[in-house]
Amino acid sequence: MKKLFLSAGLIVGMASGANAATCSNPVQITWSTIAGFYTDAMANFVKDFEVKNCAKVTVVNIDNSQLYNKQVIEMVGQTGAYDVVTLETAEKAEFAQNGFIKPMTQFFKDKQGLVNDVAPILRGMTVEYKGDIWGLPYYTYTAGMFVRQDLLDDAGEKQAFKAKYGYDLGQPQTWEQHRDIAKFFTRKTGEKLKGEPLKKDFFGVGLMAGPFPEIQDELSAPLWGMGSDWLTKNGKVPVDDVEKVLGQYVELLKYAPKAALTVTYDGVMNQMKDGQIAMTHGFFLDQWPNAVKTEEMVPGAKMSAIEAPGKRAYVGGFLLAVSSSSANPEMAMKFVAHIGGKDIQRQFAELGGASTLTSVLSDPYFSSPAMRSKTGQYATLNKVFQSMNGFSSNLFKTPFGAKIYNSMQIPLQAAAAGQISVRQAAERLAADVEKICGGPCPIAD
């Protein structure tokens, strides 16, 4: 889903136990995870763990589109095939509620500093459920927003915007301002942008309106920003609220490339780097190393990572948890703490990974000019976590969250494509959710 440099369609088994050869009888554990950057970057960290703990870790790389189903099959069968599993935010409650994974509350009792280093909002979304801790997040795809700061700062554009809308052009603070900016910067070939005639059409915003789950991630920002949620405390979809934000989103499509209906995050990043768009909607901040390349590819471009309008956006991450059928749960828990710990998270950040620890995100080094191309979004990510402190979403507090999440894009994208009305989409989503849950969805306290 939210990937930096993911290898599509790759399923390989990788044993990285060579450095553990000095152990006479290393403890065997298997980690099922996502093929690509996330795992590739962790290869040396796995070897380090093996040496220090007399262990052998077999890393099973699975394409993200298949990971959930493969892990569920093994968990239901209690096969013990995986000792450590990698979960999306929406999957945590299902795996915990169904006994697929072990609580780690007791394990972390003397490591509370590590748990507390994860921002409260991220901790609540990814690892807390019914009073227990179920692992650690080791990568976050929490959203903010990317803008072409050079466009917002251009004197001519600022003057024209002020004359048209009556207020100063700048980083959008509300979704209404976001819409105005998107409309203002949408221009045809030959029209001028920063005083120069355009050689191709230019658009105000890039949208992930393709048939992928990321469309609901974008919509979470304005929905949460208006004080609503995908599920009410009574476990039902608030149809009127969903209709409102979806309607506003569909209106934004006028100011986005036509490809918006076919792309997800990587397509939007390609549009940005190709000089087609002025900004994103609520967008995954882990993509900063991708977004900042716009400065190399578009003359005069200057990128900024900022909070989304209303200071509400999608929060999530990849969680490492221990399978309840693990033959070596103690070693598996040590591995989770190793990958999610400060030493590894710091090294991960050096490679451009989106760390989950406040101590790493707030380290001045990672916000320095020397690290801007890799971690220039860290300060903003920290702001997002602070702004959203105290927030929670009921979608991640129901054991049906993963099944709901994996089906939401169908009615939402149908409305974006004009196949059904926004009202029909909201009502269809409500009906689908009720069917999945067998009535109102149970929401954990």
Tokens standing for residue 271: 């549009």
> Residue 337's pLDDT is what?
97
Cα dihedral 222/68/340/83 (nearest 10): 160
> Are 72 and 110 members of one domain?
yes
DSSP secondary structure of 348-384: HHHTT----BHHHHT-GGGGSGGGHHHHTTHHHHHHH
- The Cα 119–Cα 359 span in angstroms is 10
Amino acid at position 211, single letter? P
Both tokens of residue 181?
């900016």
Q: Hunting for tokens 């070693």 — which residue is that?
A: 331
- pLDDT for position 40: 75
Number of domains, the chain:
2
Q: What is the DSSP string of 404-435?
A: HHHHHHHHHHHHHTTSS-HHHHHHHHHHHHHH
Residues 201 and 330 in one domain: no
Strand pairing report for 55-62 and 27-34: parallel
Contact predicate 293/4, CB 8 Å: no
Report the chain (445 residues): mean pLDDT per 10 consecutive residues: 36 38 86 81 84 95 91 96 96 97 97 96 96 96 98 98 98 98 98 98 98 96 97 97 98 98 97 98 97 98 98 95 97 97 95 95 96 97 96 96 96 98 98 98 93
| 48 within some domain | yes
The pLDDT of residue 322 is 98
Q: Report if residue 402 sits inside a domain.
A: no
Assign residue 325 the CATH number of its domain.
3.40.190.10
Q: For 192-206, what is the HEC assignment?
A: EECCEECCCCEECCE
Give the H or E element holding residue 169. none
Token output for 351: 């490679």
Structural domain containing residue 133: 12-142+315-387
Q: Judge if 192 and 278 occupy the same domain.
A: yes
Q: Report the C-alpha gap between 416 and 420 in whole angstroms.
A: 8
Q: What DSSP string describes 1-61?
A: ---SS--TT--EEEE--GGGTTSSSPEEEEEEEETTHHHHTTHHHHHHHHHHHTEEEEEEE
Task: Confirm if 164 and 184 have CB atoms less than 8 A apart.
Answer: yes
Do 122 and 162 share a domain, yes or no? no
Answer yes or no: do 156 and 300 share one domain.
yes
Burial string for 272-284 (b: 16+ CB within 10 Å, else e) reads: bbebbbbbbbbbb
